[in-house]
Structure 1
Amino acid sequence: MRNIATLALALAAALAANSTFADAPKTPVTPGSLAQASSSTIDTVLAGDWRSDKNKARDQYRHPKETLAFFGVKPNQTVVELYPGGGWYTEILAPYLKDHGHYVAAIIKPDKPDGEEALNKTGIKAKLAADPVRYSAAQVVEFVPKTAVLGPPASADVVLTFRNVHNMTDDGVAEPIFKAMFAVLKPGGVLGVVDHRAKPGTTLAQDKDSGYLPVDVVVKLATDAGFKLVAQSEINANPKDTKDHPKGVWTLPPVLALKDVDRDKYLAIGESDRMTLKFVKPGR
Structure 2
Amino acid sequence: MAFLAKSASLAAIAAFATLSGAAAIAATDDPPTAVSADSVQPIRDAVASPNRSENFRQRDSYRNPVETLSFFGLQPGQTVVELWPGGGWYTEVLGNYSRSTSPAGTRLIVAAPWERGLNAIRRMQTSQPDLWNHIQLAEFPAPSGTTNPTVAPGSADLVLTFRNVHNWRFGGQDQVAENFRQIFSMLKPGGRLGVVEHRLPEEMDSALEETSGYMKRSSVVAYAEAAGFRLIGESEINANSRDTHNWPRGVWTLPPVLRGADQDPRRDEYIAVGESDRMTLLFVKP
TM-score range, shorter chain: 0.7 to 0.9
Asked if the contact 1:229/1:280 (under 8 Å) is kept, the reply is yes
**Residue type of the partner of 1:235?**
I
CA distance in 2, matches of 1:220, 1:91: 30
CA distance in 2, matches of 1:205, 1:146: 28
3-state SS in 1 of match to 2:112: strand
**Residue type of the partner of 2:228?**
G
Q: 1:281 to 1:143 in 2, by over 3 A?
A: same
Asked if the contact 2:83/2:140 (under 8 Å) is kept, the reply is no
Shift of 1:132: 2.4
- 2:222 corresponding residue in structure 1: 220
CA distance in 1, matches of 2:48, 2:242: 28
Q: 1:180 to 1:23 in 2, by over 3 A?
A: closer
Gaps of 5+ in 2: 9-34
- 1:162 corresponding residue in structure 2: 162
CA distance in 2, matches of 1:21, 1:35: 30
Shift of 1:175: 0.5
- 2:191 corresponding residue in structure 1: 189
Does 2:133 correspond to 1:128?
no
Shift of 1:200: 1.8
- 1:249 corresponding residue in structure 2: 251
CA distance in 2, matches of 1:43, 1:144: 31
Q: Which has the higher contact order (CA 8 A, sep 6+)?
A: 2
- What does residue range 110-125 of structure 1 map to in structure 2 within 5 Å? 110=115, 118=116, 120-125=117-122
CA RMSD after TM alignment: 2.2
- 1:152 corresponding residue in structure 2: 152
Shift of 1:137: 2.4
The counterpart of 1:108, out of the listed 99, 113, 117, is 113
CA distance in 1, matches of 2:201, 2:75: 33
Residues 144-153 or 133-142, more deviating: 144-153
Gaps of 5+ in 1: 1-18, 27-33, 111-117
Sequence identity (%): 46
CA distance in 2, matches of 1:257, 1:228: 36
Q: For each residue in 1:214-252, what CA deviation from the matched residue of structure 2 results, as whole angstroms up to 9, or x when unmatched? A: 110000000000000001110100000001100000000
Alignment: residue pair count: 248
Asked if the contact 1:145/1:176 (under 8 Å) is kept, the reply is no
- 1:267 corresponding residue in structure 2: 271
3-state SS in 1 of match to 2:62: helix
The counterpart of 1:278, out of the listed 279, 282, 285, is 282
- What does residue range 18-167 of structure 1 map to in structure 2 within 5 Å? 20-21=2-3, 37-98=38-99, 99=102, 100=104, 101-110=106-115, 118=116, 120-144=117-141, 147=144, 150-167=150-167
CA distance in 1, matches of 2:108, 2:58: 23
Q: For each residue in 1:23-59, what CA deviation from the matched residue of structure 2 results, as whole angstroms up to 9, or x when unmatched? A: 89x9xxxxxxx95652222222111121122111101
**Residue type of the partner of 2:267?**
R
Q: 1:146 to 1:170 in 2, by over 3 A?
A: farther
**TM-score if structure 1 supplies the norm length?**
0.81
CA distance in 2, matches of 1:133, 1:23: 24
Q: For each residue in 1:154-177, what CA deviation from the matched residue of structure 2 results, as whole angstroms up to 9, or x when unmatched? A: 100000100000000111211001
**Residue type of the partner of 1:105?**
V
- 1:3 corresponding residue in structure 2: none
Q: 1:35 to 1:130 in 2, by over 3 A?
A: farther
Q: For each residue in 1:97-147, what CA deviation from the matched residue of structure 2 results, as whole angstroms up to 9, or x when unmatched? A: 12230111101134xxxxxxx2x3322112123222222421100134665
- 1:201 corresponding residue in structure 2: 203
Q: 1:74 to 1:124 in 2, by over 3 A?
A: same
Residues 196-205 or 70-79, more deviating: 196-205
CA distance in 2, matches of 1:162, 1:277: 11
CA distance in 1, matches of 2:71, 2:60: 15
Shift of 1:202: 3.0
Moved over 6 A (4+): none
Q: 1:145 to 1:263 in 2, by over 3 A?
A: farther
Asked if the contact 1:146/1:177 (under 8 Å) is kept, the reply is no
